[in-house]
Structure 1
């Protein structure tokens, strides 16, 4: 499932995820699942037809990412693999950055980041000209709705509805799986 919150030039995308990493970090060999949120560049295209035609929308490169992940077999609300990627070069994230506050209370940590845009920009090494004042204000205003969406999606992951491998994949018979939009 994919949710998108688009503003002027940036937006937020949120998706459920399921991973089986062929080269996991030590202690993280089992599959993981959860919710990923990315701050992304958005582009609204020109109308391809009449005033009433559908408008092309491009969700571009990521600027910042947070992964609310945990061992797929762990009890809900464990967040043992929750991390963020403050630096993204092009399409590739930097290394996982584990923060105790993020693992202890991920929704509060996320809300704090989405409402304190200047700290987010500093942390993510994003130039201020990539995010307009209007984008920053819109993101700050939408933060409660975005965080609420993430919370509801986590509940659906924990219930087993989301954050699962595709039905035709036997996660025990393969060495690598990535299921989800992001």
Structure 2
């Protein structure tokens, strides 16, 4: 499942994820599941028809990622693999960053990060002035809705409705939009 919150130049996408990494970091072996949230840049494309045609929208360059993940073998809510990626190189995320505050209350941690979009952009080595102040304020005003969506997705993952393994056994899998 994928949710998208779009502003003028920035968006936040949130979705469930089931993941098996064939080359995990030590201590991160085995499948994981949960919710992934990304801050992305948005881009409007040229219309493919009349002024009434649907607007092509590109959810483009990743800026920051939060993975509210846990190993499949642990109890729901363990958040034993919860981490974030403060920077991307192109489309590739940097190393997983584990922080005590994030493991303790990952949803609150995400909210705190979204609250300061200019700092998030700086850590990603992007120019904060490239994002209009209206986007910064609109994102701040939408944080409660984003966090509520994140919590609801986590509840559905824990209930076994989302972030389900692939139908066929695999050594590598990524099931989800993000």
Query: Smaller-chain TM-score range?
Result: over 0.9
CA distance in 1 between partners of 2:71 and 2:48 (Å): 45
Greater mean deviation of Cα atoms: 12-21 or 42-51? 42-51
Separation (CA, whole Å) in 2 of partners of 1:117 and 1:41: 12
- 1:160 maps to 160
Structure 1 residue 126 displacement after superposition: 2.5
Structure 1 runs (4+) deviating above 3 angstroms are: none
TM-aligned CA deviation for residue 48 of structure 1? 2.1
Task: Note the C-alpha offset of 1:119.
Answer: 3.0
Distance 2:103 2:130 in 1: 28
Give the aligned partner of residue 111 of structure 1. Answer: 111
How far the C-alpha of 1:118 sits from its partner, in A, is: 3.1
TM-score relative to the length of structure 2: 0.95
Aligned length: 178
Partner of 1:181: 177
- In structure 1, what is the equivalent of residue 67 of structure 2? 67
Give the Å deviation of 1:46: 2.8
Distance apart, 1:43 and its partner CA: 1.1
Following superposition, the deviation at residue 113 of structure 1 comes to 1.1
The gaps in structure 1 that reach 5 residues or longer are: none
Query: For the Cα contact (< 8 Å) 1:86–1:125, is it kept in 2?
Result: no
* CA-CA distance at 1:17 after TM superposition: 0.6
- Corresponding residue of 1:100: 100
Match of 2:51 in 1: 51
In the TM superposition, 1:125-136 aligns within 5 A as 125-136=125-136
Please name the residue that 2:168 is paired with: 169
Residues 1:77 and 2:77 aligned together: yes
42-51 or 130-139: bigger deviation? 42-51
| TM-score scaled by length of structure 1 | 0.93
Map Cα deviations across residues 71-102 of structure 1 (whole Å, 9 max, x no partner).
01211111000000011111010000000000
